[in-house]
């Protein structure tokens, strides 16, 4: 008998780096939101601005957190965002093995989107008259700060205000679970399914559900959480068809997943898409129109559109009833935004 092959060592996690540059208050305010050029990167940095001196209102600093050592091109792009620092050498430093996403997100301002108010710190007060969620800074993205997340919250809120009703909802690429939580609040008797390619995100979604009093499970008014690439999970497929499916990821996986996502939506059902840039909207829409979807509504927040699509009814032999068993519904390498 031959000896078993040794178990390969896991690849080390990417080291965290920070780049710091001085900037003016006006430049810092102009960076409020997400930078389109960085969004095209596989691992975009998290940008934070703060006052550099308490007695100088015009003196600010820009800190960019990178997963992995930043390239010269990334640093050059960062410098272009703060022209006042043209003659300043950026401070580039490797960080200790700490949770850099959490560190970079600490102290974020609460976000109000439609009826929802999202706090990132337990010490932040709730906002009266709103649905308050606590999504603390964590290793998963989706705290409500990103324009795409806020855009989805506003879209869901508007759909409820005009009387739309849903009973079976899926959130693909859920991140922190926030959008699934919002859908459960709006339609409390729905069956909710949420998935992410990253098992850490699924763990964090479960913790966030507990922190916000949201039940996990497979019944009405509960959220069922799964780790899956795209919709490649038997439970996600079995729980279909969905009358509402949300996917806030990136344009590439949105296009790649179009056939499998659309196959899981019932006739007349709704898909809400986000995570794409304005210049990517036509390509994404073309992929979904080819699957029998039509654009029902579009809203833009800066460079980030949110799309609401409706599935056209089909008749005869073309009518889909279940996801093709040969279609795995994967988008390897892609996770939540």
Domain regions of the chain by residue span: 46-52+60-94, 140-318
Would you say domain 140-318 falls under CATH 3.40.50.720?
A: no
Q: How far apart are CA 271 and CA 310, in angstroms?
A: 6
Task: Return the percentage of the chain with pLDDT > 70, whole number.
Answer: 77
Segment 196-211, tens digit of pLDDT: 988 888 998 999 999 9
Mean pLDDT over residues 58-79, rounded?
Answer: 87
Q: What was the pLDDT predicted at 34? A: 53
Q: What is the pLDDT of residue 111?
A: 83
Closest CA to 140 of 131, 149, 132: 149
For residues 312, 315, 321, 325, the Cα torsion angle rounded to the nearest 10 degrees is -100
Per-residue pLDDT at 327 exceeds 90: no
> Is 248 labelled a binding residue?
yes
The model's pLDDT over 268-281, given as tens digits with 9 standing for 90+, comes to 999 999 988 899 99
In the structure encoding, which two tokens stand for residue 186, read together?
Answer: 């709006």
Q: Is 148 annotated as a binding residue?
A: no
Distance, CA of 35 to CA of 81 (rounded, Å): 9
pLDDT value at residue 1: 45
Asked if residue 305 has pLDDT above 90, the reply is yes
Give the pLDDT of residue 35: 64
Residue 60 confidence class, pLDDT cut points 50, 70, 90: confident
Expressed in angstroms, the distance from the first to the final Cα of the chain is 48
Is there a binding annotation on residue 174?
no
pLDDT value, residue 131: 92
Whole-prediction pTM: 0.67
Give the pLDDT of residue 121.
78
Mind listing the pLDDT tens digit for each residue in 33-52? 556 667 667 677 877 777 77
Please state, in angstroms and rounded to a whole number, the distance separating the CA atoms of residues 169 and 184. 8
CB atoms near residue 22 (< 10 Å) = 16
* Range 280-302 average pLDDT: 94
Q: For residue 277, count other CB atoms closer than 10 A to its CB.
A: 19
How much is the pLDDT for 45?
80
Q: What is the pLDDT of residue 37?
A: 65
* Percent of the chain residues past pLDDT 90, beyond the cut: 50
**149 belongs to an annotated ligand binding site:** yes
DSSP H helix total and E strand total for the chain: 10, 14
Across 244-257, average pLDDT = 93
Q: What local confidence, expressed as pLDDT, does residue 65 receive? A: 82
Element (H, E) at 192: strand 191-196
What does the chain come to in residues?
Answer: 337
Q: What's the Rg (C-alpha) of the chain?
A: 21
Alpha-carbon span 269 to 262, nearest angstrom:
9
pLDDT of residue 326: 43
Q: What's the CA gap between 182 and 186, in Å, rounded?
A: 6
- Residue 102 tokens, joined: 């959490």
Q: Are 267 and 293 in contact (CB under 8 A)?
A: no
Please give the DSSP secondary-structure letter assigned to residue 12. Answer: P
pLDDT tens digit string along 108-122?
567 888 899 998 877
- Residue 233 predicted with pLDDT over 70: yes
What average pLDDT does range 213-235 have in this prediction? Answer: 95
Average pLDDT on 232-240 reads 96
């Amino acid at each position: 008998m031959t000896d078993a092959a040794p178990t390969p060592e896991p690849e080390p996690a990417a080291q965290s780096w920070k780049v710091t540059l001085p900037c003016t208050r006006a430049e810092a305010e102009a960076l409020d939101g997400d930078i389109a050029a960085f969004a095209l990167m596989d691992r975009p940095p998290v940008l934070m601005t703060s006052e550099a001196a308490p007695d100088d209102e015009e003196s600010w600093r820009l800190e960019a957190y990178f997963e992995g050592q930043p390239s010269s091109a990334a640093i050059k792009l960062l410098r272009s965002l703060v022209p006042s620092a043209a003659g300043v050498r950026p401070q580039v430093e490797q960080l200790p093995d700490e949770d850099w996403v959490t560190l970079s997100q600490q102290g974020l301002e609460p976000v109000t989107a439609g009826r929802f108010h999202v706090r990132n710190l337990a010490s932040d007060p709730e906002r009266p008259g709103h649905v308050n969620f606590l999504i603390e800074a964590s290793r998963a993205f989706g705290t409500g700060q990103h324009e795409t997340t806020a855009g989805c919250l506003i879209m869901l809120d508007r759909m409820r205000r005009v009387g739309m009703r849903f009973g079976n909802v899926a959130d693909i690429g859920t991140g922190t679970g926030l959008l699934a939580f919002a859908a459960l609040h709006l339609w409390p008797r729905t069956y909710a399914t949420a998935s992410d390619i990253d098992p850490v995100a699924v763990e964090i979604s479960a913790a966030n559900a507990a922190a916000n009093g949201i039940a996990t499970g497979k019944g009405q008014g509960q959220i069922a959480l799964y780790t899956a690439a795209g919709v490649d999970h038997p439970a996600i497929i079995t729980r279909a068809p969905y009358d509402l499916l949300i996917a806030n990821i990136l344009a590439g996986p949105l296009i790649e997943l179009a056939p499998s996502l659309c196959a899981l939506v019932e006739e007349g059902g709704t898909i809400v898409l986000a995570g794409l840039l304005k210049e990517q909207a036509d390509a994404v829409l073309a992929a979904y129109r080819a699957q029998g979807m039509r654009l029902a509504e579009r809203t833009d927040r800066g460079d980030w559109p949110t799309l609401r699509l409706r599935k056209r009814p089909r008749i005869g032999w073309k009518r889909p009833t279940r996801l093709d068993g040969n279609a795995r519904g994967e988008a390897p390498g892609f996770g939540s935004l």
